[in-house]
């Protein structure tokens, strides 16, 4: 405490009636009140800053990110980032305010800060992976690398994202298995949730078939399917001869489908292609073998051999 308070305490209760004591206490109370007001203003004014900072992907920038986003996904991302940033600012403001108040009250905060620095350093060394997970998780959310409901491949794991947290990401595989991946281990992500997903596969016909006729048959089929498959975004169309395989000619087929519908579209196209080629009599090659049996010629003078001289 200040020398004024110390002197007042030495003089007993009468010393407390000294005007200098009340002036000193009033100054300190005003300083503490101003610090608390500064903390409050910092927390209040930071909210509009975060609102403007994190709501920008809902505008034209979201379209430049390469995929459409639902309003629900944008709102969820906004709430997550805003809450996280507000929490960080709140703790920092409270810590700085507490140190300033202790300084005003006459406490030496240098030793407190030193102890806090040593303790933070020790915690940092012991929790490096945790800090890395949290920082990586923040940038995953901030950069919108993927969101809940996206189909992604993270390393060797593939599936639908169920949860994106600050420390871990949960991915559900098609077999029902749940992958819990620490964010710090996410170094490369493949996101399959673009505005339109490619469907491309070869159709093989026999060498004996007429290639031009096969292409016309396939394109006519695709023109019929364009109005029946709701999941199609573009195509399907025949790109042409892609390869001359060991048993047939490969014709490349291309289309675009809605996200998460590309596999169903590919299956439907292959089924329709098989039925149409069968109807048109265009052979689809398959592996087969021809076995040739040869009979050894009979030796002359050997009556036991078939076809030899008879007794």
The DSSP letter of residue 146 is -
Asked if residue 311 belongs to a domain, the reply is no
**pLDDT of residue 120 exceeding 70:** no
Asked if residue 201 belongs to a domain, the reply is yes
Judgement on whether residues 122 and 223 belong to the same structural domain of the protein: no
Question: What share of the chain in percent tops pLDDT 90?
Answer: 18
DSSP string covering 28-43: HHHHHHHHHHHHHHHH
Asked if residue 270 belongs to a domain, the reply is yes
Judgement on whether residues 177 and 274 belong to the same structural domain of the protein: no
Q: Please write the tens of the pLDDT for every residue from 249-259.
A: 999 999 988 88
Which of 11-25, 107-121, 139-153, 176-190 has the lowest average pLDDT? 11-25
The model's confidence at residue 99, banded by pLDDT at 50, 70 and 90, is confident
| Strand ranges of the sheet holding 197-205, from the earlier edge strand across to the other edge | 197-205, 249-257, 232-244
More confident of the two residues 72 and 37:
37
Q: Which of 126, 149, 165 is the last residue of a domain?
A: 126
Asked if residue 105 belongs to a domain, the reply is yes
The model's confidence at residue 214, banded by pLDDT at 50, 70 and 90, is very high
Listed ranges 20-24, 43-47, 212-216; the one with the highest mean pLDDT: 212-216
More confident of the two residues 112 and 176:
176
Judgement on whether residues 90 and 160 belong to the same structural domain of the protein: no
Q: pLDDT value at position 50?
A: 76
CATH code for position 159: 2.30.30.60
Judgement on whether residues 118 and 10 belong to the same structural domain of the protein: yes
Judgement on whether residues 33 and 121 belong to the same structural domain of the protein: yes
CATH code for position 218: 3.30.70.100
Look-up: residue for tokens 């490619």?
Answer: 198
Q: What is the pTM assigned to this prediction?
A: 0.53
More confident of the two residues 255 and 78:
255
Which of 19-33, 101-115, 292-306 has the lowest average pLDDT? 292-306
Asked if residue 135 belongs to a domain, the reply is no
Asked if residue 308 belongs to a domain, the reply is no
**Total domains in the fold of the chain:** 3
Judgement on whether residues 156 and 235 belong to the same structural domain of the protein: no
Q: pLDDT value at position 70?
A: 56
Q: Please write the tens of the pLDDT for every residue from 131-151.
A: 788 888 888 877 778 877 788
Q: pLDDT value at position 100?
A: 83
Judgement on whether residues 23 and 101 belong to the same structural domain of the protein: yes
Judgement on whether residues 226 and 256 belong to the same structural domain of the protein: yes
Q: pLDDT value at position 1?
A: 47
Asked if residue 286 belongs to a domain, the reply is no
**pLDDT of residue 65 exceeding 50:** no
Q: Residue 14 — φ and ψ, nearest 5°?
A: -65, -30
Judgement on whether residues 170 and 241 belong to the same structural domain of the protein: no
Angle CA 186–75–133, to nearest 5 = 20
Asked if residue 212 belongs to a domain, the reply is yes
Q: pLDDT value at position 121?
A: 65
Judgement on whether residues 109 and 18 belong to the same structural domain of the protein: yes
CB atoms within 10 A of CB 113: 12
More confident of the two residues 109 and 272:
272
Q: Which domain holds residue 144?
A: 140-191
Average pLDDT, the chain: 77
Judgement on whether residues 147 and 165 belong to the same structural domain of the protein: yes
Q: What integer is the mean pLDDT of 196-219? A: 90
Q: pLDDT value at position 76?
A: 62
CATH code for position 13: 1.10.287.1260
Give me the torsion for CA of 40, 46, 47, 51, rounded to 10°: 180
């Amino acid at each position: 405490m200040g020398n004024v308070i110390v002197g007042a305490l030495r003089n007993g209760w009468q010393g407390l009636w000294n005007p200098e004591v009340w002036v000193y206490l009033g100054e300190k109370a005003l300083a503490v009140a101003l610090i608390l007001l500064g903390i409050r203003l910092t927390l209040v004014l930071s909210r509009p800053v975060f609102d403007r900072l994190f709501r920008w992907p809902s505008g034209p920038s979201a379209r430049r990110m390469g995929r459409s986003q639902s309003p629900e996904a944008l709102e969820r991302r906004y709430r997550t980032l805003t809450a996280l940033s507000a929490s960080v600012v709140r703790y920092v403001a409270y810590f700085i305010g507490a140190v300033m108040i202790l300084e005003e009250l006459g406490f030496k905060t240098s030793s407190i800060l030193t102890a806090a620095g040593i303790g933070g350093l020790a915690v940092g060394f012991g929790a490096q992976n945790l800090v890395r997970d949290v920082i990586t998780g923040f940038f995953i959310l901030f950069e919108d690398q993927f969101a809940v409901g996206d189909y992604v491949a993270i390393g060797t794991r593939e599936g639908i994202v169920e949860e994106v947290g600050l420390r871990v990401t949960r991915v559900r595989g098609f077999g029902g298995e749940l992958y819990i991946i620490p964010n710090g281990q996410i170094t490369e992500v493949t996101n399959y949730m673009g505005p339109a997903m490619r469907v491309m596969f070869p159709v093989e016909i026999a060498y004996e078939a007429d290639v031009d006729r096969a292409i016309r048959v396939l394109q006519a089929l695709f023109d019929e399917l364009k109005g029946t498959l709701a999941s199609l975004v573009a195509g399907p169309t025949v790109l042409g001869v892609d390869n001359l395989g060991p048993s047939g000619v490969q014709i490349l087929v291309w289309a675009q489908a809605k996200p998460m519908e590309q596999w169903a579209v590919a299956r439907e196209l292959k089924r329709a292609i098989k039925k149409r080629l069968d109807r048109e009599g265009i052979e689809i090659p398959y592996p087969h073998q021809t076995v040739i049996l040869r009979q050894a010629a009979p030796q002359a003078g050997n009556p036991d051999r078939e076809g030899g001289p008879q007794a």
